[in-house]
Chains A and B, each alone.
Chain A
Amino acid sequence: MITAGIDMGARSIRVLILKDGEVLARGESTAGFDTAESAELAFNEALEKAGITKDQLDKIVATGAGRESAPQATDTVTDVGAAARGAHEVAPQARTIIDIGAEEGRAIKTNGNGKVMDFAVNEKCAAGAGSFTEAMSRALEVELEEFGALSLESTESIPMNAQCAVFAESEVVSLLHAKTPKQDIARAVHDAIADRIVSMVRRVGIEPEIALIGAVSRNPGFVDALKRGLERDVIIPDDAEFVGALGAALVATDE
């Protein structure tokens, strides 16, 4: 059986094709103004890498914020359901899943079978999602890819008092004017995001092990801050940003 999962995220669209439970190929594109066109790009990339045509797919399931606008999908699953199913596949020992994307953070508690028991989504606050690091790296004039590593060089922990991404940017500028080292500011930014995420995770209850998925898991500065906030280690699966798409493809297989 060949299935595909499409994760229609706010910033990126990711496609994963499964054949009898094995990953055949992945595709990725940036979510542009025309999300259907962006989905087509990622979908075609995955098909090309897999060496198959769309007709050979038995089922296509979409997830993510824009799941209803994936033209290829025959069915949908919620972000929470897909994240839980995908995480159970790649980190079956995990009972708490933290999924952080560009615009949203989610905390999910699952049972031993990957079924969602409790969940919380931060629907609104950008200060608890990936776009916050983008905005702050711009304010610091540091490449986003270097921003996480920069914070690991920090020698002093400074609090970031602003609770909002907009005000935080002003605070970053003030810290720069005060000659605060960029490394310390970068750490303060990551600590601020982690604070919000940890608070959300505590709402559903922390149950070990904890898996971190989503593209923000690629940011070493955030991962470090999260581990400190949770006071425990987290599992980061390979290709953690594709776990949502994997979950959708698995849901397609399960059905």
Chain B
Amino acid sequence: MKANYGYMDGSGEYYITIDTDHCNNCSHHGCITGCPKGMFQVITDDYDDEVAEIKEEFRKKIKYDCADCKPTTDRPPLPCQAACTPGAITHSW
């Protein structure tokens, strides 16, 4: 399942997509510690699979919470993506 967390507003689309099929065999849970803001958590979804999701309190402001990891120039790899070894995380912006 591709779960898109975020929103669209006048300035653009801000979604973090988690491909939860990649979460199934992950015991590492690097997303939880990899994000400096602690935006990720692992839950058991409606189908009893253990998957990562963006915490509720961050979903309406991810553009701002992710801003520190996205400098305009010399952008390093995103810590959440680097920490997610199965490669489940993508950003839309």
Q: Give residues in A with beta carbon < 8 Å to B.
A: 77-78, 80-81, 115-125, 128, 162-164, 167, 196, 199-200, 203-204, 251
Contacts and interface: CB of A to CB of B under 8 A. Distances in A.
B40 to A, nearest CB: 16
B46 A123 contact: no
B1 interface: yes
B9 A120 contact: no
A118 B4 contact: yes
Given A77-B46, A115-B47, A124-B60, A204 B4 contact: yes
A203 B4 CA distance: 9
Given A163-B10, A164-B10, A199-B13, A121 B46 contact: no
Given A118-B4, A163-B11, 15 more contacts: A80-B46, A81-B46, A116-B46, A118-B1, A119-B1, A119-B4, A120-B15, A123-B7, A123-B60, A124-B7, A125-B7, A125-B8, A162-B10, A199-B8, A203-B92
A116 B20 CA distance: 11
Q: Is chain A's interface secondary structure helix, strand, loop, or mixed overall? A: mixed
Given A78-B46, A115-B47, A116-B46, A124 B2 contact: no
A128 B8 contact: yes
Interface string B1-37: 1111111111101010000000000000000000000
A119 B3 CA distance: 5
A124 B5 CA distance: 10
Interface of B: 1-11, 13, 15, 45-47, 59-61, 92
Contacts of A124: 7, 9, 59-61
B2 A118 contact: yes
Nearest to B2: A118
13 contacts: A77-B46, A116-B1, A117-B1, A118-B3, A119-B3, A119-B4, A120-B4, A122-B8, A123-B7, A125-B8, A167-B10, A196-B8, A200-B8
B37 to A, nearest CB: 16
A83 to B, nearest CB: 11
Contacts of A77: 46
Given A124-B7, A164-B10, A203 B1 contact: no
